[in-house]
């Protein structure tokens, strides 16, 4: 991810352009002199707790929560590294 340093004045002149760069994956550091004032970046995706995940399991799920459960979850996460893009209402 590219990190772009920009002055407050330049940021004020082109906010739509900065937001386009953030959407493209850049992180924008807005500075006053040499001191950072703000950082623009995409927000972290929403996360579900393990309790919420378990509650989503169907009643007839074969999932078993035992001593190997944490390793099984890590293996499942590692097997699907693609980003999660849930609907906004989820």
- Give yes or no for a contact between 89 and 78, defined as CB atoms under 8 angstroms apart: no
65-84, pLDDT tens digit by residue? 777 877 888 888 888 877 77
Instruction: Report pLDDT for 89.
Output: 64
8-38, pLDDT tens digit by residue? 999 999 999 999 999 999 999 999 998 999 9
Instruction: Report pLDDT for 72.
Output: 83
**Which domains does the chain possess?**
3-40 (3.40.1620), 50-79 (no CATH)
Whether the model clears a pTM of 0.85, i.e. scores above it, the answer is no
Instruction: Report pLDDT for 67.
Output: 76
HSE-CB for 27 with a 13 A CA cutoff: 9
**Structural element, H or E, at residue 39:** strand 35-40
């Amino acid at each position: 991810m590219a990190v772009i340093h920009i002055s407050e004045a330049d940021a004020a002149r082109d906010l739509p352009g900065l937001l386009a760069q953030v959407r493209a994956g850049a992180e924008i550091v807005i500075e006053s002199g040499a001191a950072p004032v703000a950082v623009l970046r995409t927000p972290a995706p929403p996360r579900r707790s393990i309790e919420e995940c378990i509650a989503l399991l169907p009643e007839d799920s074969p999932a078993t929560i035992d001593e190997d459960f944490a390793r099984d979850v890590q293996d499942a996460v590692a097997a699907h590294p693609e980003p999660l893009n849930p609907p906004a209402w989820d």
